[in-house]
């Protein structure tokens, strides 16, 4: 299972580079988020705001000092999420559960805020919920 | 582009090994296919209206797949986008010197703030056909063409009864339109545009002299081709012609999309304030 997950994860990340055009005319990801400041987040899902144009979800993440911080994450537009199979119900069903997110920090210095790229609920399915830069 | 090349070769091997192992439900590759989302076939001849003209009715997706492709895995690159830049290259607009200087003076943040995807202003015509990642439903009757744009719940009605352009057009986001048939191509000419819209999300603004010509064709059941000509003698040195943009027939919902909670505007405005403060310090 672990090998499958690693291979699957690698394949998905690779697919982003291979099949998605690098530039997006719709949004310039790099204008708002720092592709050099991306990291993994592990924590518990605490809230979902499902309002157009973008969903925002929140999760409690433990920092290096052992303190719990509540981070917010921006996603793709709701329409895009729906069409790639990531509906609101998945967030609702996973409320309070552990999730993993790969996200990039905001350039404007806003604390505890990032753009989510990849997300995994407890079902271990890797989902692309936003642009990923690295 | 460097990322694309750097990752392509090793990724091909990894993708072959990895696809199908932990991908989202409904996105599993089969044993026989490299991609799970491919370009649609032509699909046979187009339907016709009672008057014998091509019926443009359909739920149209801005790609070659007839379904959503963003955030999906295993999408054939040939199914992405509305045109192939190598097969049908699109020349850049040729701006007058003053217009070029105005665009070049925009910072990346200002450019981002100008985008309708950030500020939630209507895209307007022709941007709604050129810079729109969401779907459009067309309802075509002999006397009218209704365009239901998913983005921002915008809509537009084009009359097909031969009425001329208004003598005194008011500035509208979608302009004032008159339509005619040239063979099997529906040609729509529009004037009178709200000057708060951009033609493309690269700072390309327009004047009140903007004229837009849209050419709609449905060469087959599954494909809608839209070509745009932009004439703006106050901003451009010459008219600009788009590549033939393909939209493909899909199904499913035209989703509600009222832009009421866009925090990008606030975040980017904050970033711009920081940039201005830094510029003052320097």
Nearest to A15 among B26, B74, B270 (CB): B74
Contacts of A76 in chain B (CB under 8 A): 70-71
Nearest to B77 among A19, A27, A53 (CB): A19
Helix, coil or strand: residue B189: strand
Report the pLDDT value the prediction gives residue B282, as an integer from 0 to 100: 78
Report the pLDDT value the prediction gives residue B265, as an integer from 0 to 100: 80
Q: Which residue is closest to B71 within chain A, CA to CA? A: A128
Both structure tokens of B220: 């087959």
Decide the pairing of beta strands B144-149 and B176-182. Answer: unpaired
Nearest to B150 among A51, A79, A125 (CB): A79
A82 and chain B: CB distance < 8 Å anywhere?
yes
Distance from CA of B4 to the nearest CA of A (A): 5
Q: Judge contact between B129 and B243, C-beta under 8 A.
A: no
Stretch B203-211: mean pLDDT? 96
Q: Judge contact between A103 and A117, C-beta under 8 A.
A: yes
| Crossing angle of helices A2-19 and B2-18, rounded to 10° | 140
Q: Does pLDDT of B94 surpass 80?
A: yes
- For chain A, the DSSP string reads -HHHHHHHHHHHHHHHHHHS-S--SS--HHHHEEEEEEEEEEEEEEEEEE-SSEEEEEEEEE-TTS-EEEEEEEEEEHHHHHHTT--HHHHHHTTTSEEEEEEEEETT--TTEEEEEEEE-TT--EEE-S----
Distance from CA of B189 to the nearest CA of A (A): 25
pTM of the model: 0.84
Q: Judge contact between B39 and B247, C-beta under 8 A.
A: no
DSSP B130: H
Contacts of B271 in chain A (CB under 8 A): 31-32, 107-108
Query: Considering only A9-13, A100-104, B85-89, which range has the smallest mean pLDDT?
Result: A9-13
Q: Does pLDDT of A20 surpass 80?
A: no
User: Among residues 3-62 of chain A, which lie with CB inside 8 Å of chain B?
Assistant: 4-5, 7-12, 14-15, 17-22, 25-28, 30-32, 49, 51-54, 56
CA angle B67, A28, B198 (to 5 degrees): 85
Q: Judge contact between B248 and B63, C-beta under 8 A.
A: yes
pLDDT in tens, B48-62: 999 999 999 999 999
pLDDT in tens, B101-138: 999 999 888 898 889 988 899 999 999 999 999 999 99
Both structure tokens of B225: 């081709």
A28·B117 Cβ contact <8 A = no
Stretch B163-179: mean pLDDT? 97
Report the pLDDT value the prediction gives residue A77, as an integer from 0 to 100: 94
Distance CA A55, CA A80 (A): 10
Of B21, B38, B49, nearest to B74 by C-alpha is B38
Of B248, B146, B151, nearest to B188 by C-alpha is B146
Q: Does pLDDT of B1 surpass 70?
A: no
> What is the ipTM for the molecules in this complex?
0.81
Q: Judge contact between B56 and B140, C-beta under 8 A.
A: yes
Q: How many CB pairs under 8 A join A and B?
A: 184
Q: Judge contact between A26 and B112, C-beta under 8 A.
A: no
Q: Judge contact between B40 and B231, C-beta under 8 A.
A: no
If you search the block for the tokens 């996105």, which residue do you land on? Answer: B27
């Amino acid at each position: 299972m672990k090998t499958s997950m690693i291979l699957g994860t690698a394949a998905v990340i690779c697919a982003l580079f291979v099949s998605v055009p690098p530039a997006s005319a719709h949004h310039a990801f790099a204008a708002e988020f720092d592709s050099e400041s991306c990291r993994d987040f592990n924590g518990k899902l605490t809230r979902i705001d499902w309002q157009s144009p973008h969903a925002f979800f929140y999760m409690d993440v433990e920092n290096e000092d052992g303190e719990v911080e509540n981070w917010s994450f921006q996603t793709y537009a709701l329409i895009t999420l729906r069409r790639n199979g990531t509906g609101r119900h998945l967030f609702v069903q996973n409320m309070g559960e552990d999730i993993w997110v790969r996200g990039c920090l905001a350039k404007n210095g806003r604390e505890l805020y990032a753009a989510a790229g990849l997300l995994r609920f407890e079902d271990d399915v890797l989902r692309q919920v936003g642009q990923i830069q690295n | 582009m460097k990322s694309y090349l750097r990752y392509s070769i090793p990724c091909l091997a990894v993708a072959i090994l990895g696809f199908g192992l932990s991908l989202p439900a409904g996105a599993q590759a089969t044993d026989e296919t490299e991609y799970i989302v491919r370009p649609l076939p032509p699909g046979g001849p187009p339907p016709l209206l009672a008057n014998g003209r091509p019926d443009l009715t359909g739920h149209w997706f801005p790609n070659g797949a007839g379904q959503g492709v963003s955030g999906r895995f295993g999408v054939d690159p040939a199914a992405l986008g509305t045109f192939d830049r190598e097969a049908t290259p699109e020349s850049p607009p040729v701006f007058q010197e003053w217009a070029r200087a105005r665009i070049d003076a925009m910072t990346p943040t200002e450019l981002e703030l100008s985008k309708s995807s950030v500020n939630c202003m209507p895209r307007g015509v022709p941007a709604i056909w050129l810079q729109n990642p969401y779907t459009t439903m067309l309802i075509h009757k002999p006397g009218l063409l209704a365009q239901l744009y998913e983005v921002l719940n915008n809509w537009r009605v084009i009359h097909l009864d031969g009425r001329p352009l208004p003598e005194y057009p008011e500035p509208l986001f979608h302009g004032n339109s008159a339509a005619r048939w040239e063979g099997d191509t529906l040609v729509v000419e529009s004037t009178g545009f709200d000057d708060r819209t951009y033609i493309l999300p690269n700072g390309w603004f327009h004047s009140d002299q903007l004229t837009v010509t849209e050419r709609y064709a449905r060469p087959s059941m599954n494909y809608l081709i839209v070509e745009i000509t932009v004439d703006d003698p106050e901003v451009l040195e010459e008219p600009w012609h788009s590549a033939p943009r393909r939209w493909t027939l899909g199904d499913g919902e035209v989703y509600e999309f009222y832009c009421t909670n866009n925090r990008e505007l606030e975040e980017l405005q904050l970033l711009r304030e920081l940039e201005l403060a830094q510029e003052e310090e320097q």
